[in-house]
């Protein structure tokens, strides 16, 4: 212990004069030092918590994507048909949820209504796509829209060509059909001539466009019928026995079957965020309990209470950030395998870390407050 | 002027609903450069006193002045500054932060006080060099021996160069080789500007001290002379917290034993009637009285030292054979003869 001797005389003498007074009062560095070192100290628990929270956030993100896809597909489908006004039978809630047949002459009558520039028939139906030789479990529900090729209602294709006539169809990419391939719908074989992108409805069910005549034949309707008239323009009056619906009304109609599911998904999304918050809160609370003696010692040697409070909040925010990053990775890996469309925008991705940090801060509030209020006198009994 | 002036210090707290007063009207004065040993048994209030001096608990009354600054009543930033710069504490169980390295444990104190990272680094190196631990700066506390950890704890206490160092049982967890190193440092810490107060129940540390402060008076061989007390209604025989040397036997009347309650009137624990005794624990274990004894109506009690009390119990099965037993008379005669 020979080096101890100077101590009794030295500390004041060797205290550097230039630093005689603190130069960084209120600095955050000691907060970060203790918080980061503690995370390092309990790294296994931190990683486990981050992974668990990350999976929960990935699920929440997917729920959000699925919920988004419901409104996006409604928008895309209605936009693809290009109508400003939709004419349906009076009393019908809309062209998609309750399609009521109407004679084709209605189209000509509607085209003469004041304010209407163009009119075209639309036949809304459904079919089962079957693959020859495959089991029934591989059959897919598809929404089939019958239109008159080249007229209002013809969709823009991203691959191949527009709809001609006869046995041609234009299908959505989500059906995973190639241009030139054939497909059986309700037992009738059709040839794929073009592909659309993102045109689905009723929770991701793909849309197939075909000629009005072909769809009438497939459905066995004779004489041929339509279920709505697409109008370019806004008529100042309507035909007797018919109702003119706006885009917004049709959107409501198309979204109605999944509205309940959408609400449930949003509820699950909220619950998942609560679970994420609970995981973060539990980890931070446990940490606050375990570090009670440390906090008492830190207060005893002059650490202000707010340092302890902020330290735990910083840990919660870091945990949330890492969990958000893991959530992104998990979502990116899992979403493509989902049978339902998951549509997320940049804003959705940006919102997750922000929301996660906010959730982390809220979740850590109580344990952080508990830490800040620890009795420093415990230091004499600590250890 | 003394560096430390403690006047009429009283610390009390509630435990199990009862009011406990481990420090009662305590007085102490220490000069600069002094090393004091605060001696007392477990539970005598050593740690409580250190906590009050360190500004970690608020006393019920009295005054603590350190270098002229009144500590009682400090709050907020002033209290934090006192804890940082006014006093350094060396804890019994070292109490180093396990997730920080040895150096970071010291740097934390400096950074918290607002010093730059550069200065904190230099100062911690300087202090670790002084306690001969420069080779261990990157290690975690758990990788060090008890003596090494205690030296880190001392270096941490010195980080901001406080005027007073408080050490709570600094050798309790150390073997005799480690004890020597720590004692050397503690002795050298008390210099012209700094006062050191060490709380311990280990009287082997006494040669180290400039002065010894006993929180529990050393046990007397005899409990003093017997006494016969005639008490008026409501008269107090002794109070909770008083020192006690005698066991009391009730000759006539009734004595109420009351305990102070944290919030509310005193609670009656029991009533002791003629032929029964009370108050034996304080002289037996050298503890303060744990209750107040008060006459309920007129009463007469005989106060007996422990040895006479034991003799009477052994010979007669009761401490009160008659109004004033022969053994008591004999003891009084013996006392008078001295």
Residue-wise pLDDT for A336-375, tens only, equals 888 788 888 888 889 888 888 888 888 888 888 888 888 8
Alpha carbon of B77: minimum distance to chain A alpha carbons (Å): 8
Pairwise CB contact (< 8 Å): B112 & A304: yes
Q: Give yes or no for a cis peptide into A145 (omega within 30° of 0).
A: no
pLDDT band at A61 (very low <50, low <70, confident <90, very high): very high
How many contacts does A have with B, using Cβ atoms within 8 A? Answer: 152
Instruction: Tell the burial category of A291 from Cβ atoms under 10 Å away from its Cβ (0-12, 13-18, 19+).
Output: buried
Say whether both A158 and A268 belong to one domain.
no
Q: Which of A8, A27, A293 sits opposite B111 (nearest CB)?
A: A27
Pairwise CA distance, residues A225 & B179, whole Å: 102
Pairwise CB contact (< 8 Å): B108 & A298: yes
List the one residue out of B130, B133, B109, B132 whose CA is nearest residue B121. B109
Question: Is B324's Cβ below 8 Å from some Cβ in A?
Answer: no
For residue A166 the two structure tokens come to 């006869």
Question: Is B111's Cβ below 8 Å from some Cβ in A?
Answer: yes
Pairwise CA distance, residues A221 & B295, whole Å: 111
For residue B138 the two structure tokens come to 């990157």
Alpha carbon of B261: minimum distance to chain A alpha carbons (Å): 22
Say whether both A37 and A170 belong to one domain.
no
* Domain of residue A290, residue span: 28-71+259-380
Pairwise CB contact (< 8 Å): B185 & A3: no
Pairwise CB contact (< 8 Å): A302 & B117: no
Best to test chain B binding among A17, A30, A293 (most B CBs inside 10 Å): A30
Pairwise CB contact (< 8 Å): A15 & B123: yes
pLDDT band at A10 (very low <50, low <70, confident <90, very high): very low
In the three-class reduction of DSSP (H, G, I as helix; E, B as strand; rest coil), residue A95 is classed as coil
Q: Which of A2, A19, A379 sits opposite B95 (nearest CB)?
A: A379
- Percent of chain B past pLDDT 70, that is, above it, reads 90
Task: Confirm whether A286 is domain-assigned.
Answer: yes
Say whether both A61 and A96 belong to one domain.
no
Residues of B in contact with A12 (CB under 8 A): 161, 193
Pairwise CA distance, residues A229 & B57, whole Å: 83
**For residue A141, what are the β-bridge partners?**
A128
| Rounded mean pLDDT, A317-325 | 92
Segment B111-157, tens digit of pLDDT: 998 888 888 999 999 999 888 889 999 999 999 988 899 889 999 99
Residues of B in contact with A297 (CB under 8 A): 91, 95, 97
Pairwise CA distance, residues B309 & B198, whole Å: 38
Q: Which of A19, A42, A293 sits opposite B116 (nearest CB)?
A: A19
Alpha carbon of A137: minimum distance to chain B alpha carbons (Å): 57
Q: Is the pLDDT of residue A6 over 60?
A: no
Alpha carbon of B248: minimum distance to chain A alpha carbons (Å): 36
Say whether both A228 and A363 belong to one domain.
no
- The region of weakest confidence among A9-23, A176-190, B66-80, B220-234 is A9-23
Q: Is the pLDDT of residue B287 over 60?
A: yes
- Taking residue B265's Cβ as centre, other Cβ atoms within 10 Å add up to 8
Pairwise CA distance, residues A99 & A93, whole Å: 9
Pairwise CB contact (< 8 Å): B92 & A33: no
3-class SS string, B22-45: EEEEEEEEECCCCEEEEECCCCCC
Domains parsed from chain B with CATH numbers? 4-214 (3.40.50.300), 227-337 (2.60.120.10)
**For residue A371, what are the β-bridge partners?**
none
Task: Confirm whether A251 is domain-assigned.
Answer: no
Mean pLDDT of chain B: 84
- The region of weakest confidence among A212-226, B295-309, B312-326 is B312-326
Q: Which of B88, B104, B188 sits opposite A8 (nearest CB)?
A: B188
CB under 8 Å to A291, separation ≥6 — which residues?
A: A38, A371
Task: Confirm whether A340 is domain-assigned.
Answer: yes
Say whether both A263 and A371 belong to one domain.
yes
Segment A244-278, tens digit of pLDDT: 999 999 999 999 888 888 899 999 999 999 999 88
- Taking residue B10's Cβ as centre, other Cβ atoms within 10 Å add up to 16
Pairwise CB contact (< 8 Å): B83 & A383: no
**For residue B23, what are the β-bridge partners?**
B11
Q: What pTM was computed for the model?
A: 0.74
Task: Confirm whether A239 is domain-assigned.
Answer: no
- The region of weakest confidence among A23-32, A136-145, B52-61, B93-102 is A23-32
Say whether both A222 and A119 belong to one domain.
yes
Residues of A in contact with B54 (CB under 8 A): 300
Segment B72-101, tens digit of pLDDT: 988 888 888 899 888 999 988 888 999 999
Q: In which region does residue A180 sit, left (phi positive, over 0), alpha (psi from -120 to 50) or beta (all else)?
A: left
Which runs of E-coded beta strand occur in chain B?
Answer: 4-15, 18-30, 35-39, 61-66, 69-70, 87-90, 164-168, 195-200, 211-214, 227-231, 236-238, 247-259, 267-273, 277-278, 292-304
In the three-class reduction of DSSP (H, G, I as helix; E, B as strand; rest coil), residue A81 is classed as helix
Task: Confirm whether A182 is domain-assigned.
Answer: yes
Say whether both A276 and A314 belong to one domain.
yes
Pairwise CA distance, residues A201 & A99, whole Å: 15
Task: Confirm whether A6 is domain-assigned.
Answer: no
Say whether both A285 and A175 belong to one domain.
no
Say whether both A118 and A178 belong to one domain.
yes
Say whether both A159 and A201 belong to one domain.
yes
Segment A120-162, tens digit of pLDDT: 999 999 999 887 666 667 788 999 999 999 999 999 999 999 9
Q: Is the pLDDT of residue A3 over 50?
A: no
Q: Which of A11, A16, A30 sits opposite B111 (nearest CB)?
A: A30
Pairwise CA distance, residues A168 & A177, whole Å: 13
Task: Confirm whether A243 is domain-assigned.
Answer: no
Q: Is the pLDDT of residue B223 over 70?
A: no
Q: What letter does residue A191 receive in the DSSP assignment?
A: E
Question: Is B189's Cβ below 8 Å from some Cβ in A?
Answer: yes
Q: Is the pLDDT of residue B262 over 80?
A: no
Output the CA–CA distances (angstroms, integers) from residue A288 to A162, A181, A344, in the order listed: 65, 63, 36
Which runs of E-coded beta strand occur in chain A?
Answer: 85-89, 102-103, 116-130, 140-147, 159-160, 168-172, 182-185, 188-196, 200-201, 205-211, 225-226, 228-233, 242-246
Pairwise CA distance, residues B320 & B278, whole Å: 12
Spatial contact of A78 and A250, defined as CB atoms under 8 Å apart: yes
**For residue B236, what are the β-bridge partners?**
B294
pLDDT band at A14 (very low <50, low <70, confident <90, very high): very low
Residues of A in contact with B112 (CB under 8 A): 30, 298, 301-304, 307
Q: In which region does residue B127 sit, left (phi positive, over 0), alpha (psi from -120 to 50) or beta (all else)?
A: alpha
**Residue A340, pLDDT score:** 80
Touching A: B residues 61-100, CB under 8 Å? 77, 80-81, 83-85, 88-89, 91-95, 97-100
Higher pLDDT, B17 or A36: A36
| Rounded mean pLDDT, A163-186 | 91
| Rounded mean pLDDT, B40-62 | 87
- Tabulate helix, strand, coil % of chain B (nearest 5): 35, 30, 35
Say whether both A270 and A293 belong to one domain.
yes
pLDDT band at B329 (very low <50, low <70, confident <90, very high): low
Spatial contact of B111 and A27, defined as CB atoms under 8 Å apart: yes
Spatial contact of B242 and B68, defined as CB atoms under 8 Å apart: no
Spatial contact of A211 and A169, defined as CB atoms under 8 Å apart: no
Task: Confirm whether A357 is domain-assigned.
Answer: yes
Touching A: B residues 156-175, CB under 8 Å? 156-158, 160-161, 168
Of A233, A250, A278, the residue at which a domain comes to its end is A233
Q: Is the pLDDT of residue B315 over 80?
A: no
Touching A: B residues 127-156, CB under 8 Å? 127, 129-132, 156
Segment A273-318, tens digit of pLDDT: 999 988 998 898 888 888 888 899 998 888 888 888 899 889 999 9
Best to test chain A binding among B38, B56, B157 (most A CBs inside 10 Å): B56
Residues of B in contact with A38 (CB under 8 A): 99
Q: Which residue of chain B has the CA closest to A307?
A: B112
Say whether both A116 and A224 belong to one domain.
yes
**Residue A15, pLDDT score:** 30
Instruction: Tell the burial category of A266 from Cβ atoms under 10 Å away from its Cβ (0-12, 13-18, 19+).
Output: middle
- Taking residue B234's Cβ as centre, other Cβ atoms within 10 Å add up to 10
The structural domain count of chain A equals 2
């Amino acid at each position: 212990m020979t080096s101890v001797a100077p101590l009794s005389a030295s500390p004041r003498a060797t205290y550097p004069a230039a630093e005689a007074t603190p130069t960084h009062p209120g600095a955050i560095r000691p907060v970060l030092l203790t918080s980061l070192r503690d995370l390092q100290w309990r790294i296994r628990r931190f990683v486990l918590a981050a992974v668990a929270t990350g999976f929960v956030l990935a699920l929440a993100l997917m729920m959000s994507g699925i919920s988004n896809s419901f409104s996006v597909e409604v928008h895309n489908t209605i936009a693809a048909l290009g109508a400003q006004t939709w004419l349906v039978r009076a009393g019908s809630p809309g062209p998609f949820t309750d399609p009521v047949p109407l004679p084709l002459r209605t189209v000509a009558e509607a085209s003469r209504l004041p304010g209407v520039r163009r009119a075209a028939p639309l036949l809304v139906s459904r079919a089962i796509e079957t693959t020859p030789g495959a089991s029934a479990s591989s059959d897919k529900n598809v929404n089939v829209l019958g239109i008159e090729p080249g007229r209002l209602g013809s969709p823009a294709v991203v691959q191949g060509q527009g709809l001609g006539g006869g046995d041609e169809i234009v299908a959505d990419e989500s059906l995973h059909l190639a241009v030139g391939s054939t497909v059986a719908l309700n037992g009738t074989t059709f040839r794929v001539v073009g592909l659309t992108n993102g045109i689905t409805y009723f929770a991701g069910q793909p849309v197939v466009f075909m000629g009005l005549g072909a769809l009438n034949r497939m459905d066995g309707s004779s004489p041929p019928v339509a279920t709505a008239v697409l109008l370019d323009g806004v008529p100042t009056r309507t035909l007797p026995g018919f109702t003119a619906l706006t885009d917004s009304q049709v959107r409501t109609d198309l979204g109605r079957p999944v509205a309940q599911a959408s609400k449930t998904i949003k509820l699950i999304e909220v619950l998942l965020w609560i679970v994420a918050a609970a995981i973060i809160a539990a980890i931070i609370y446990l940490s606050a309990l375990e570090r009670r003696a440390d906090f008492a010692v830190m207060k005893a040697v002059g650490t202000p209470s707010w340092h302890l409070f902020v330290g735990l909040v910083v840990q919660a925010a870091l945990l949330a950030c890492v969990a958000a990053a893991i959530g992104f990775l998990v979502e990116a890996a899992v979403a493509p395998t989902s049978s339902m469309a998951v549509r997320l925008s940049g804003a959705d991705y940006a919102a997750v870390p922000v929301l996660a940090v906010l959730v982390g801060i809220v979740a850590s509030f109580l344990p952080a407050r508990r830490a800040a209020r620890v009795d420093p006198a415990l230091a004499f009994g600590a250890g | 002027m003394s560096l430390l002036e403690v006047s009429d210090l009283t610390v009390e707290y509630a435990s199990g609903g009862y009011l406990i007063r481990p420090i009662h009207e305590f007085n102490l004065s220490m000069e600069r450069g002094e090393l004091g040993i605060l001696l007392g048994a477990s539970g005598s209030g050593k740690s409580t006193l250190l906590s009050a001096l360190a500004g970690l608990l608020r006393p019920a009354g009295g005054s603590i002045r350190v270098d002229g600054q009144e500590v009682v009543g400090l709050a907020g930033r002033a209290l934090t500054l006192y804890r940082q710069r006014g006093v350094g504490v060396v804890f019994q169980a070292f109490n180093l932060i396990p997730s920080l390295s040895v150096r970071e444990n010291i740097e934390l104190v400096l950074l918290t006080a607002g010093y730059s990272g550069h200065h904190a680094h230099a100062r911690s190196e300087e202090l670790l060099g002084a306690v001969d631990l420069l080779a261990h700066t990157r290690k975690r506390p758990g990788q060090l021996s008890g003596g090494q950890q205690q030296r880190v704890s001392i270096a941490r206490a010195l980080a901001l160069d406080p005027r007073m160092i408080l050490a709570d049982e600094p050798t309790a967890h150390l073997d005799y080789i480690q004890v020597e190193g720590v004692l050397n440092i503690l002795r050298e810490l008390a210099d012209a500007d700094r006062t050191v107060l060490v709380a311990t129940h280990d009287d082997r540390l006494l040669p180290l001290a400039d002065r010894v402060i006993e929180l529990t008076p050393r046990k007397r061989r005899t409990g003093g002379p017997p006494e016969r007390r005639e008490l008026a209604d409501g008269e107090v025989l002794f109070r909770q917290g008083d020192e006690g040397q005698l066991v009391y036997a009730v000759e006539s009347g009734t004595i109420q034993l009351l305990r102070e309650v944290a919030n509310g009137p005193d609670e009656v624990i029991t009533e002791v009637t003629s032929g029964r005794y009370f108050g034996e624990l304080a002289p037996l274990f050298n503890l303060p009285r744990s209750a107040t004894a008060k006459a309920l109506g007129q009463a007469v009690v005989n106060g007996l030292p422990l040895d006479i009390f034991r003799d009477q119990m052994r010979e007669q099965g009761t401490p009160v054979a008659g109004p004033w037993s022969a053994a008591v008379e004999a003891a009084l005669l013996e006392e008078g003869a001295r």
